[in-house]
């Protein structure tokens, strides 16, 4: 198995975690990601310590409390493939969050170093920027949950719906150099869901010098680490592909560099 693929546990752990990526396990500095799978009535409570957190309700309904705020019965979609924007909650570092599941629920815990700049807040579906990116067989739907134009210290969070037979994160691009304004250094995780669930996505992760060059068959519920390099995704015919991206780096800016071999596709009239 590729070291870039993180597989879920066979069943949720005692803390409801089904998959976990920490900076230590990934061998990097900034991004943390966890998928929680809660049964109705489950309650978990955690401190954020030195990390800011974005809780994304992938599916189901829950009530979420922080040290100074509370949101009762949030969440609407029962599956990510309903394709409606999610409810999310931003929680700063040196705070806490308590989640009570009101239905069976799956919640993504996106984290990165915090500086205590922002207060906890609800990110409602109406606040999520929705866009269609690309044309033809590179068209996909984007939900900008926590883009750089919205307050956070390090985190960038976005979800992408790739229709069957389409490509996304395409043309291939990278963001692995701290070279603003041209390119930013951002670690990134991809958390995949596939419909029907027996399907898979294809993701290639590669660098210019090919010191890293892996082509991955990614199954439903798996995550992919992108420490550097280009990282396009393909959805095979018959299977819709969803992924949640978490990015963070030394500067909170998303500036990418297209693979020069494929940059001409940006001007393709299709």
- Nearest to residue 205, comparing CAs of 182, 165, 234? 234
How sure is the predictor about 269, in pLDDT bands with cuts at 50, 70 and 90?
Answer: very low
| Mean pLDDT of the chain, nearest integer | 96
What is the DSSP secondary structure assignment for residue 188, as one 8-state letter? E
pLDDT at 266: 83
Residue range 116-142, pLDDT digits in tens:
999 999 999 999 999 999 999 999 999
Identify whether 196 is preceded by a cis peptide bond (ω within 30 of 0): yes
Report the pLDDT averaged over residues 9-28: 96
Tokens of 17: 């975690």
CA distances in angstroms from 253 to 62, 82, 137, 157, 259, listed in the order given: 31, 29, 28, 12, 19
Please give the model's pTM, rounded to 2 decimal places.
0.96
Split into its structural domains, the chain has a count of 1
> 179: domain range?
5-267
Report the pLDDT averaged over residues 231-254: 98
Report the CATH number that the domain containing residue 116 is assigned in CATH: 2.60.120.10
CA 85, distance to chain mean position in Å, is 13
Residue range 141-179, pLDDT digits in tens:
999 999 999 999 999 999 999 999 999 999 999 999 999
pLDDT at 40: 98
119 C-beta neighbours (distance < 10 Å), count: 13
Measure the CA–CA gap between 15 and 147, rounded to whole angstroms: 29
- The answer to which of 1-15, 29-43, 167-181, 245-259 has the lowest mean pLDDT is 1-15
CA distances in angstroms from 222 to 14, 116, 125, 192, 244, listed in the order given: 20, 31, 25, 6, 11
Report the pLDDT averaged over residues 55-72: 98
Specify whether the CB–CB gap between 194 and 203 falls below 8 A. no
Q: Which helix (H) or strand (E) holds 20?
A: strand 17-21
pLDDT at 118: 96
* 3 state SS of 138: helix
Measure the CA–CA gap between 2 and 29, rounded to whole angstroms: 20
Helix-strand-coil split of the chain, %, nearest 5: 5, 50, 45
pLDDT at 270: 47
Specify whether the CB–CB gap between 246 and 157 falls below 8 A. yes
How sure is the predictor about 267, in pLDDT bands with cuts at 50, 70 and 90?
Answer: confident
């Amino acid at each position: 198995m590729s070291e870039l693929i993180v597989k879920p546990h066979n069943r949720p752990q005692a803390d409801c975690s089904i998959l976990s990526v920490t900076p230590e396990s990934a061998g990097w500095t900034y991004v943390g990601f966890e998928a929680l799978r809660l049964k109705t009535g489950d309650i978990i409570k955690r401190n954020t310590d030195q990390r800011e957190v974005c809780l994304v309700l992938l599916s189901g309904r829950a009530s979420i409390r922080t040290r100074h705020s509370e949101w009762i019965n949030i969440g609407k979609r029962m599956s990510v493939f309903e394709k409606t924007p999610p409810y999310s909650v931003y929680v700063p570092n040196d705070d806490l969050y308590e989640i009570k599941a009101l239905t069976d629920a799956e919640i993504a815990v996106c984290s990165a170093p915090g500086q205590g700049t922002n207060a906890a807040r609800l990110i409602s579906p109406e606040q999520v920027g929705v866009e269609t990116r690309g044309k033809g067989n590179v068209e996909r739907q984007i939900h900008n949950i926590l883009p750089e134009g919205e307050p956070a210290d390090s985190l960038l969070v976005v979800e992408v719906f790739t229709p069957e037979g389409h490509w996304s994160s395409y043309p291939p691009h990278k963001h692995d150099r701290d070279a603003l304004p041209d390119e930013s250094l951002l670690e990134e995780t991809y958390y995949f869901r596939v419909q029907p669930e027996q399907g898979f996505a294809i993701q290639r992760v590669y660098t210019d010098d090919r010191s890293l060059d892996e082509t991955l068959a990614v199954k439903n519920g798996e995550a992919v680490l992108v420490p550097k390099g280009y990282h396009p995704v393909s959805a095979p015919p018959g299977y819709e592909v969803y992924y949640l991206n978490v990015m963070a780096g030394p500067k909170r800016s998303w500036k990418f560099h297209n693979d020069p071999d494929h940059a001409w596709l940006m001007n393709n009239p299709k």
